[in-house]
Every structure is written in structure tokens, then in C-alpha cells.
Chain A
Amino acid sequence: MSSPARALPQVSARFANRARWHPLEYAFWLCALASFFVMPGWHLILTEIAILALFALSLDLILGYAGIISLGHAAFFGFGAYVAGLLAKHGIITEPLLALLVAGFATMMLGFVTSFLVLRGSDLTRIMVTLGVALMLREVANRYAWLTGGADGLQGVEVQPLLGIFRFDMFGHTAYAYSLGTLFVLFALARRIVHSPFGISLQAIKANPLRAAAIGIPVNSRLIAIYAVAAFYAGIAGAMLTQTTAFASLAVFDFDRSADLLLVLIIGGTGYLYGGPIGAIIFKVMQDYLSGLTPQYWPFWIGMLLVVIVLVGRERISSWTAPIRMLAARLSLRGKPAAEVRRA
């Protein structure tokens, strides 16, 4: 039995170990980089995947790490999309990267304000409130047509060249480089966040809020913080959608978008940062294939997939990534005692 003082370096060494980049992670991002050069004809759909991955990453931060169920995450996505669209349309901030950041921070403010609504109550209340916020924003965007274009969508968005140099072309080359780069930077940041003491405290809150509070974690302020960060991510994702398509419509707020997002994350696995990107790839490929088969009715298959996943059990579904994860663990912890290899 070791004393707490002796256990401390062991514990921090273990967390530091967990935070280290695995070789497979390098491989993943190298593949992503390679896709830019190898698949130039696919850049449009790859851009969509990158944006969806970022959006899913955002939901993972609150759902997988903090345990907040949200059915209205599209609220932030849509808000970011419209902010970016308005900034570009009225020429307030013309440089896309700067506008992206501004849209992100604006959404973060929205996330901060609405975070107080999700602190209280049970899962059901959270579901209702997040859903309600998304519907409300959609209604606002619909009603204030003089600003947002209402049901016709925000038209006449002209996106200036990136950094003043790279023009957004119709094949999506610039768009993909831009969204992939943003995804990577924000992913690295999210990785840093979830492996920091802050991120570990979030997982403690998810496991048991009461006990987390008892060991001195300020539960509410942590939840507010991560909710705002997640809103920032979602806002960026939305803003990128507007910038790469030069259009924003009410569909960005749709309930379907929030629901699909949950599916993306479930396919990829929650509480595991690569869940978002992997889920996004699978989802988009599947959507492309299914909507090719039956354009109008592909939601049926999406719904069926959700039902099947739940009935079979999410743990079993996500266990198909287990071999990869075990391989990753083995590669990075070669020669360590077996007890340390187990992922928490």
C-alpha cells in the first residue's frame, strides 16, 4: 500500500502517458494530409466531412467528456454560420480566418449565456432546453428576414480570398485545405483540453457530479466553461460551412442536424476525440451511398441504424475500434506493465 505522497508522481506519470501522441494518431493525420494530394477530385465532400468532424468534436466535448445530452447543438452551428455569413455579406470583416474567429467567439458568448439553462435539472430538462434554444434561434432567423433572408436563406455572401491570397475555388481545393487545417488546430487544442487537469475533472463530473463536488471540483463553473468551449467549436464549424459554400440557410438550425450529429458521434464512439472524425467519415460515405440509392428516403436507413445501434448496445458497436486502440496502446506503452496499458 503506497502513501498518497508516493502515489502522486505515479498518477501524474500515468496521465502524462495518456496525453502523449500515439503513433497511430500521427498516421491518422498523415492520412488526412495525404488525402489532400491524393484525392483532389473529392475535395468538396472531404470539406463537408472535415466540417462535420469538427461539429461532432464539439458535441463530444460536452457529451462524451462532461455528460451533457444536447438535442439542440445545431443552435451553435447555425449561429456561427449566420454570424460568418453576415460578416462577409456586409463587409464588416472580410478576411475569412479573422471572421471565423469572430464568429467562433460570438458563438462562445451564446454558449456561455445559454449554459446557465442546462446546469439545472435532469437529462430530460436538458434535452428540452437545448432543443428549445435551437428552435427559438431558428424562429428568430426565420422572422427577422430583413437581416437573415428568412426562409430564402442568406444570399449574396461573398467570401474574400483566404489571407488575401488563396481564392475559394469551385473544386473546393482551398476550402478543404482551410477546413482541414482548422480541424487539425482545433483538434490539437481539444486534445490538450481533455488531457489537462481541467479535462480530467470534467470526466470526474460526468462519472458522478455529487462526488466530484465533494472532492472540491467546482462542478457548475466547469460545466459552464466546457459548454462555452463546445459552442465555440460548433460556431467555427458553422462559420466554415458558410464560408466554404457562400450560403447560409435555415437548415443549419434543423433538428435533423442535431440528431444526425448524435448518430455521427455514436458511430465513432463518445468520450474519445477521434470518435468525431471517424464517425464523420463513415456517416458521410454512408449518406452519399444511401441517398444515391433512395434520394428521398435515406432518413429511414439512418433511423434504422440508430435503432439497431441502441438495441445491439453502443458498447458492442464501438468495440470494433478496440483492436486499433489496443494496438495504439501497445505501440506507445511498449515494455510497460500490463496494468498500465488499460485505457480508462
Chain B
Amino acid sequence: MLTILFDGIAYGMLLFVLACGLAVTLGLMNFVNLAHGAFAMAGGYCTVVLVNRWGVPFFAALPLAFLFSAAIGFVLERTLYIHVYRKSHLDQVLFTIGLVFMSVAAVDYTMGSSQVFVRLPEWLQGQFNVMGVGIGRYRLLIIAICGALTLALQLILSRTRFGSRLRASVDDARVARGLGIRVNRVFALTFAFGSGLAGLGGALGSEILGLDPTFPLKYMIYFMIVVTVGGTSSITGPFLASLLLGIGDVAGKYYLPTLGSFVIYTIMIVVLIWRPQGLFARGAAR
């Protein structure tokens, strides 16, 4: 019971790190980015190559994965995404689906279609018992890293100058522009950072989520659930939503294996019908 809760939390934290970049993208530019998972996949494969082929230590590979995805995100944002912000949602959807298809085929071509795993250090494998609760070492690590990241994000958002600019831009981009905030630059940085976080999430999560070329398609719906259910106006919303989703999914698969991921989709649809702006939104119409 508690083990499931623990696994669920680890899973949820991971989802949060993967999806929080998306929440900002969506909230800031009202941009529907279905290709977010592709950045996560980039980070994951970067780690696999670094650790398995070149023998880079796992912990050194994580920041590299972050940088790798962030760089890809930055370049793509400046060259391609920037042309699509002003287009309709339909165009955005088509564009990002196109990117997903390209990334899936490209990874399939370069890395092969089978599932890959990162070789973990010995001491991260296995689990230990605390008062009868089985705790996986690796999952504990994930919770620690993701928890620290969440705290850091929250601090950046609420305490730093950049954070207040970002919040101002999300609240009302026009007024923020009027006040002299360079919304586009804030956005480019945030996009790159969000992609980087996704890449880090992909690097950490390859063990739990599995990593193969269809990753962006498989988890697209999960990221979107986190964002739509959590709302885009804060990061607390997506955080709680990811935890709910993680625990719900793990528990659902454990207790009601016959229903599978059915539970998640049902919850999502019910929430969206009940509160189209998301569970934790402040009701601001956008």
C-alpha cells in the first residue's frame, strides 16, 4: 500500500519535471506544443549514449542531458517555433505533430526501434525496507532530485526578478510588454529551460517510463493531462496534478489491472467537463 503510494509519488514527481516546461509554454504564449515529449526523449537518448557508449558517470550525464535538450529547445524556438506563435491552434497542432513524427522517425533511424535502458550505478539498484515499506533506491533518488528541482523552481518564480517578469508575462503579456518586459526573450529562455527540464526528466525517467522512439507519442497525453488538469497559471497546479496522476496511474494499474489506463482518461475527461480551465486554475479566462 505505502509502496504503491511511494512509487506513485516518484512517478508523479517525474511527470511534473517533464511537464512543467509545457505548462509555462501554454500559459505564456497560449501555444499548444504537442512536441514537448520529443525534448524529453532527446534528453533520455543523450543519457543513454553518454552512459552506455562513452562511459560517462550517470550523475555527470544528467546535467549534460539537460543542456542538450535545452540547446535543442533554444535553437528550435528561435528558428521554427517563433513563426508559429501567431497562427491558429490548428496550425500549432499540425506543426508540433509534424515535429513529433519527425523526431520519432529520426530517432528510430539513428538509435533503432527497440527499448533502451540506461546502465545505472550498482548502488542505485535494488530496494530497502523501512518499517515494512519497500523503497526503491532509484525512486528515492528521483523524489529527491525532483523535489529539489520543484523547490528551486518555486523559489526562482517567486523570489527572483526573472520570476516576477515571467509571472507578469503569463498574467498579461500585453501589459507586461507595455511595462518594458521583453516578453519574447523571457519566453525564449523559459522555453529552453522547460525543454531542458523535460530532457532531465527523460534522462531520469528512462528507467521507469521506458525509452523507445515512440516515447513522445506515448506520453504526450500524460503531459497534456498534467497541464490541462493543473491549469497553467501557476506551477503548484501542475505539481498537484502530476502527483494525482502519478499516484492514480500506479494505484489504478495495481488495483484494477483490467481497466488499465482507462482510469486516467476517465478522470481527465470528467475534470475537463467539470472545470474546463483546470482543477487549480484561478478562473482567469484566457
Contact = CB atoms under 8 A, between A and B. Distances in A.
Interface in A296-337: 296-300, 302-307, 309-311, 314
A113 interface: no
Given A120-B276, A139-B262, A266 B94 contact: yes
B104 interface: yes
Interface residues of B, number: 44
A140 B258 CA distance: 10
The size bracket of the interface on A is: 35 or more
Contacts of B32: 123-124, 127
A120 B95 CA distance: 24
B269 interface: yes
Nearest to A124: B32
Interface in B72-106: 80, 83-84, 87, 89-95, 97-106
Tell me the interface secondary structure of chain A in the complex. Answer: helix
Contacts of A135: 221, 261, 265
A41 B95 CA distance: 36
B94 A299 contact: no
Interface in A99-155: 117, 120-125, 127-129, 131-133, 135-136, 139-140, 142-143
B94 to A, nearest CB: 5
Contact of A69 (B90, B101, B113, B224): B90
Given A136-B262, A309-B94, A300 B101 contact: yes
A1 to B, nearest CB: 35
Interface in A258-290: 259, 262-263, 266
B279 interface: no
A255 interface: yes
A132 B221 contact: yes
A259 B225 CA distance: 19
B276 A300 contact: no
Contacts of A122: 276, 286
A303 B100 contact: yes
A143 B105 contact: no
Contacts of B286: 122
Interface of A: 63, 69, 71, 117, 120-125, 127-129, 131-133, 135-136, 139-140, 142-143, 255-256, 259, 262-263, 266, 296-300, 302-307, 309-311, 314
Nearest 4 Cβ contacts at the A-B interface: A306-B98, A303-B101, A300-B105, A121-B276
